[in-house]
Structure 1
Amino acid sequence: MEHRRPDSRPAALRWAPAAALLLLFAAIAWLTLTYRVSGLDWRTLLSPSGDLKDELAAYTVWHVRAPRLLLAASLGAALAVAGCLLQAMTRNPLSDTEIIGLNQGASCAAVVALLLFGGSDSSLVILPAALCGAAVSGVLVYWLARFGGSDVSRLVLSGVAISAFMGALTTGIILLFETRLMEIVYWMAGKLSGANWSDNRLIWLIDAPVLAAAFLLSGRLNLLAQGDEVAAGLGVNVARTRGLLGLMVILLAGSAAAVAGPIGFVGLMVPHMARRIVGIAHRRLIPASALLGAVLLSTADFAAQWISYPADIPVGIVTAFLGVPFFLYLLRRNKEER
């Protein structure tokens, strides 16, 4: 049974990080919704006058920008928590859904499914295919890591190999069927343009229960992070818990890839940042990671929309630009700590 010492800090200090993150997200949200929308005020937002300019401004905010903003926040939270769960279950600070190949597996399966079964409603094809692809990649990585020995660093090496293989396979399929799949290249970079309310409903339906379950499992995660023997000695079924966590990571990563393509490195960066803010206890770390992930991806998507306006850069390129140096920094830090 987990014993936690009561937090002796004043309540204002305990809630300060969450309040700061919520205020930061509110600022990013307001900027995203209103930037370069001329003639916008509260009256126009809540009750358009019927004037064409007012109607256009309200439509831009509620039907173009708001769904995209909320999808970015939802996916940022999901990917950040997925990375947090993955790092806890593997006890490896370099674990991420992009690095260990889950994103590439989901993308590869989605491309194959679109090629074979794509039709008028591709969402019914992409979602189950992406989930299956993420699961297949996860099983392959786990099998290779177990086959290579017990060193947890082998998981990252196995994931890099599977990610490279799945990425090459996906590229080859797209090149072979260029006329039918060329439009997927933009999606493969991780994009949020064209987001709508149905995408948000789909993500909320899948991810909300998973995020709630992750919070409820925070006690087991704290024990698992201390090692298998310690966790088992304190009553945790290690194999069952790891299997459940793996399923949750697959659902979070696969659903994100299904609606927006592979968006990498959010799950790598955010848990490390959140630990610096709230510490290592998962009861605080998981909500902090969700909030910080929402802020990070919303900010990255705002930059993707306006950094080269009128062109719209896929948000996956922005997160990769941030994530690759962060990954190299973690590699260097881990090497120095050994």
Structure 2
Amino acid sequence: MTATDAVTRRVFASYLFIGLLLAATGFIWSVSLGVTDLRWNDVLQGLLGGKETKEQLVISTIRVPRALVAALAGAALAVAGALMQAMTRNAFASPQIFGINAGASFFVVLFIVFFPGISSSALVFAAFAGAFMGGLLVFILGYSNDHRTPVQLALAGIAVSMLLSAMTEGFIVLYDNQTKNVLFWLAGAVHNGTWKDVHTVIPWSLTGMMIALLLSRSLTILSLGDDIARGLGQNILFIRLAVSCTVIMLAGSAVSIVGPIGFVGLIVPHIVRHWVGVDYRFILPLTAVFGSVLLLYADIVSRFISYPFESPVGIVTTGIGAPYLLYLLLRRRGRL
């Protein structure tokens, strides 16, 4: 092990500890907030399985699944963004910017309209199909003479996202009876998270993250360039295919439950790379942890926007992510 590797591992361990501490604190804080005011010792007793009380019932049936959904969705969206940025070597890549969230949302609404009463587990597959379609459209439109530029792909992604979002809203207007509860979800919401949602998203998100970790070494090599990766014996086509399927699995499962929450997959990987460099063995675990942290605390902030009423968590992530995207664009053009 070189001195640089040793330093990177120490930095990784430090940030991992900080991230897990922030995630645990955010989880407990999230569970303690709500219309029914709970003290932290009530929360801890409820989490540890104390005697059955009204507070314990609120914690176990409402607060805990909500916090788990936020943590799982945040981790899934952040890792999906990190994978996309590694695969494309594009600073602007994220599930929202590249049309994956919009495609997943469109297909979810489509299935809700034409298949009323469809289960949340079946909606996951609809989201997978939509995520694939949205991403494919962006890559087709973003290519020019077999070449991709970051800004060109980002512009294609924004155009496709706007088109799919407009089509989604059109379906909501035309079929308002079937989609009356969808508008809040479209802005990104975790407040309706249930144990059924947790059970739906857990297998897909955990499987996707495990595959991502298995691909981490190949992604680090791929980030050096296709020619170097081929020279080191990497199968570029297989890696990109595996990464694409993993991104669809992670983003599609998250969007089907919490809606197209934006910018989590853009912000978190950038910050993590600044901390630990370009080794995806370190980037991916930290991205998952801090993706959970971001969405947990964004959900907490969203509760105070129009307290005691709920606000979409997507408002908070967009408020953070939109200026960050502008910063990246200006830096790319040499203005910062």
Q: TM-score range by the shorter chain?
A: over 0.9
Q: In the alignment, which residue of structure 2 is the partner of 1:58?
A: 56
2: CA distance, partners of 1:131 / 1:289: 22
Offset of residue 145 of structure 1 = 2.1
Distance 1:157 1:279 in 2: 27
SS of equivalent to 2:307: coil
What is the CA-CA distance between 1:134 and the residue it aligns to? 0.6
Work out which of the residue numbers 97, 100, 121 in structure 2 matches 1:99.
Answer: 97
Listed one character per residue, the Cα deviations across residues 221-240 of structure 1 (whole Å, up to 9, x for unaligned) are 11111111111111111122
2:249 aligned with 1:248, yes or no?
A: no
| CA displacement at 1:157 relative to structure 2 | 1.8
Matched, 1:140 2:140: no
Identity %: 37
Residue-by-residue CA offset, 1:197-238 (whole Å, 9 max, x unaligned): 121122111111110111111111111111111111111111
- Out of 72, 78, 81, the residue aligned to residue 79 of structure 2 is 81
Partner of residue 31, structure 1: 29
Choose which of 142, 145, 151 in structure 1 pairs with 2:148: 151
Distance in 2, Cα, partners of 1:97 & 1:283:
21
Who is 2:106 aligned against? 108
Larger deviation: 30-39 or 213-222?
Answer: 30-39
AA of the residue aligned to 2:103: G
The aligned counterpart of 1:128 is 125
Mapped to 2, the partners of 1:328 and 1:168 lie a distance apart of: 23
Alignment of 1:265-276 (within 5 A): 265-276=263-274
Q: What's the offset of the Cα at 1:4? A: 7.9
Which range is displaced more, 141-150 or 219-228? 141-150
Q: Which residue of 1 aligns with 2:218?
A: 220
CA, structure 1 residues 275+103, in 2 after alignment: closer, same or farther (shift >3 Å)?
Answer: same
Aligned pair in 2 of structure 1 residues 178, 148: CA closer, same or farther (>3 Å)? farther
Match of 1:9, SS state, is helix
- Give 1:305's aligned residue: 303
Q: Of 159, 178, 182, which residue of structure 2 is paired with 1:184?
A: 182
CA apart distance, 1:305: 2.0
Uncovered stretches (5+) of structure 1, i.e. residues with no partner: none
Which amino acid is 2:133 matched to?
V
Cα distance in 1 for partners of 2:11, 2:226 equals 33
- Consecutive aligned runs of 4 or more in structure 1 exceeding 6 Å deviation: 3-6
In 1, distance between residues paired with 2:56 and 2:182?
A: 30
> Any idea what SS the aligned residue of 2:303 has?
helix
In 2 relative to 1, CA 241–312 (structure 1 residues): closer, same or farther, beyond 3 Å? same
Distance 1:316 1:235, change over 3 A: same
User: 1:142, 1:45 → 2: CA distance?
Assistant: 45
CA distance in 2 between partners of 1:247 and 1:255 (Å): 12
TM-score in terms of structure 2 length: 0.92
Whether the 8 Å CA contact 1:17–1:278 is kept in 2: the answer is no
Question: Structure 2: how far apart are the matches of 1:238 and 1:267?
Answer: 23
Alpha-carbon distance change, 253 to 32 in structure 1, aligned in 2, over 3 angstroms: same
Q: For 2:26 and 2:47, locate their aligned partners in 1 and report how far apart those are by CA, in whole Å.
A: 18
Q: Report the more deviating stretch, 33-42 or 107-116.
A: 33-42
Find 2:16's aligned residue among 15, 18, 24: 18
Structure 2 segments unaligned to the other structure (5+ residues): none
> TM-score w.r.t. structure 1 length?
0.92
Deviation at 1:84? 0.3
CA contact (8 A) 1:73 1:295 kept: yes
The 3 A distance-change label for structure 1 pair 151 and 49 is closer
User: Which letter does structure 2 place at the counterpart of 1:57?
Assistant: E
Of the structure 1 ranges 301-310 and 62-71, higher mean CA displacement relative to structure 2 is found in 301-310
The 1:59–1:232 alpha-carbon spacing in structure 2 relative to 1, beyond 3 Å, is same
Counterpart AA for 1:273: I
In the TM superposition, 1:159-178 aligns within 5 A as 159-178=157-176
Question: For 1:245 and 1:216, how far apart are their aligned partners in 2?
Answer: 11
Instruction: State the 1:40 CA deviation.
Output: 2.3
Q: Is the 8 A contact 1:300 1:319 kept in 2?
A: yes
1:114 and 1:125 in contact (8 A); partners too = no
Q: Which residue in the other structure is 2:322 paired with?
A: 324
The amino acid that maps onto 2:198 is N
Q: Distance in 1 between matches of 2:8 and 2:174?
A: 62
How far apart, CA to CA, are the structure 2 residues paired with 1:42 and 1:130?
A: 36
CA RMSD of aligned residues (A): 2.2
Over 3 Å counting, the alpha-carbon distance change for 1:42 and 1:274 in structure 2 is: closer
Q: Please say which of residues 288-297 and 202-211 is displaced more in the overlay.
A: 202-211
